[in-house]
């Protein structure tokens, strides 16, 4: 796929209309608590300004029902200006005469942030007339929002129609695609995928799609218990999807037929309650007593996973192996992250994606010790499932 990026265009005297993903978390006082997505958009924006162009930024924030003030992008104006080193202008709408005027007077080297796109339901409905109104605000359309590339929204997919010759990938979006492709098309073997989290059902299509591309599959977190029970293990009160046991056995069979080694936990940190103050002990994964539940990978499991990772050349991590938000059950995920960092230091390529895994690498200060941390959980997962994302397809049309 031939990707035209902002590096292929000279933006001198041009207005770039950029779809960014500034859907960032805010605290009760509307302060940004994680500015990763804002920082990730910086290289694209600065490239355009350095060319002598100007930037009109559009994004969504949260899921407003009725233009609630808490979802206003005005809250991010100050940190955005600080990160970019430019005083960003703001207009409290994203279509209409007020916006038209603000865009008209925008000079080269200036940046204008539009109000939350999702204040209009036309955005999520993929409304063509709304996309056309937005398209009037730039000479070139740039999509740099990987986090929403899997949505066929007005600003991510439909709008590109109005820029048949003048559309391109932002540097973040291009980088996200390249890094997912590194895993899916890797010749650096062995390739290991770590799939964790609560449910098999939410990860099944990813597992099916990547089995042809990997050598090792580590299954952890709550979803592991469905596999253990399906094979006859006693899992006490651990999380399980009883209706997915046949599917779990089918996955194990598919993996075996494709020569993929599957690594399940062999022990667990178990607790008598789902709380940070519960009583805990270590148990064999196949013999968890009634009234107890597995909430983290045990020491033997951690060692097995460590050995697999030490010999891996390409690593995909999606999903924790325990309830790492509670300190008592964080050790397995922390050790796993540290072993991925160690493998990376020794030359492996590691891609971390999916909300919980990203939160884990941040919590354990490992973000800079892995090769790439994806900013788009849902979009990355759909790419791993083999789907063509509407936001990407629109730029290639």
Annotation: binding site: 21-23, 37, 60-63, 118, 151, 203, 294, 325, 354-357
Binding residues for ATP: 203, 294, 325, 354-357
Pair 148, 113: CB distance under 8 Å: no
In sequence order, the 6+-apart residues with CB closer than 8 A to the CB of 385 are 205, 206, 209
Separation of alpha carbons 292 and 301, rounded Å: 18
Q: Where are the beta strands (DSSP E) in 177-291?
A: 191-195, 216-219, 234-235, 261-263, 267-271, 280-284, 287-288
Maximum CA extent, the chain: 70
Which one is catalytic: 39, 378, 387, 393?
378
Which one is catalytic: 52, 276, 355, 386?
355
- Nearest alpha carbon to residue 60 among 135, 153, 137, 161: 153
End-to-end CA distance of the chain: 11
Query: For strand 191-195 and strand 314-318, is the pairing parallel, antiparallel, or unpaired?
Result: parallel
Which one is catalytic: 37, 213, 229, 334?
37
Which one is catalytic: 199, 234, 342, 387?
199
Q: Is 369 a catalytic residue?
A: no
For residue 166, count other CB atoms closer than 10 A to its CB.
17
Pair 283, 297: CB distance under 8 Å: no
Binding residues for substrate: 21-23, 37, 60-63, 118, 151
Q: Is 378 a catalytic residue?
A: yes
| Catalytic residue annotation | 37, 199, 355, 378
């Amino acid at each position: 796929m031939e990707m035209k990026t902002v590096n292929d265009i000279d933006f001198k005297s041009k207005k770039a209309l950029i779809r960014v993903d500034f859907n960032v978390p805010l605290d009760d006082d509307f302060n940004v608590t994680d500015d990763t997505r804002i920082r990730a958009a910086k290289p694209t924006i600065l490239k355009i300004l350095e060319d002598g162009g100007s930037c009109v930024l559009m994004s969504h924030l949260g899921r407003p029902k009725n233009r609630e003030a808490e979802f206003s992008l005005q809250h991010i104006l100050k940190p955005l200006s600080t990160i970019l080193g430019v005083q960003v202008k703001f207009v409290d709408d994203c279509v209409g005469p007020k916006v038209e005027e603000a865009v008209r007077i925008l000079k080269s080297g200036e940046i204008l942030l539009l109000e939350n796109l999702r204040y209009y339901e036309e955005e999520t409905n993929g409304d063509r007339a709304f996309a056309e109104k937005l398209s009037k605000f730039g000479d070139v359309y740039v999509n740099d929002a990987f986090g929403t590339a899997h949505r066929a929204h007005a600003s991510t997919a439909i709008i590109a129609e109005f820029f048949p010759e003048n559309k391109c990938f932002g540097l973040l979006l291009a980088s996200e695609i390249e890094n997912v492709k590194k895993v899916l098309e890797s010749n650096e073997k062995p390739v290991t995928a770590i799939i964790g989290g609560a449910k098999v059902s939410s990860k099944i299509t990813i597992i099916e799609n990547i089995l042809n591309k990997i050598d090792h599959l580590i299954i952890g977190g709550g979803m592991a218990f469905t596999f253990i029970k399906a094979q006859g293990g006693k899992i006490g009160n651990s999380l399980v999807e009883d209706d997915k046991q046949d599917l779990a056995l089918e996955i194990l069979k598919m993996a075996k037929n494709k020569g993929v080694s599957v690594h399940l936990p062999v022990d667990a940190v178990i607790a008598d309650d789902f709380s940070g103050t519960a009583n805990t002990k270590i148990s064999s994964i196949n013999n968890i007593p009634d009234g107890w539940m597995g909430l983290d990978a045990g020491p033997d499991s951690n060692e097995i996973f460590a050995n697999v990772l030490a010999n891996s050349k390409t690593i995909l991590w999606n999903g924790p192996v325990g309830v790492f938000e509670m300190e008592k059950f964080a050790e397995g995920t922390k050790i796993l992250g540290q072993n991925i960092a160690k493998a990376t230091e020794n030359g492996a390529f590691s891609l971390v994606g999916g909300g919980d895994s990203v939160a884990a690498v941040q919590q354990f200060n490992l973000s800079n010790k892995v090769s790439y941390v994806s900013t788009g959980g849902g979009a990355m997962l759909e790419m791993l499932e083999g789907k063509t994302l509407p936001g990407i397809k629109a730029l290639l049309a």
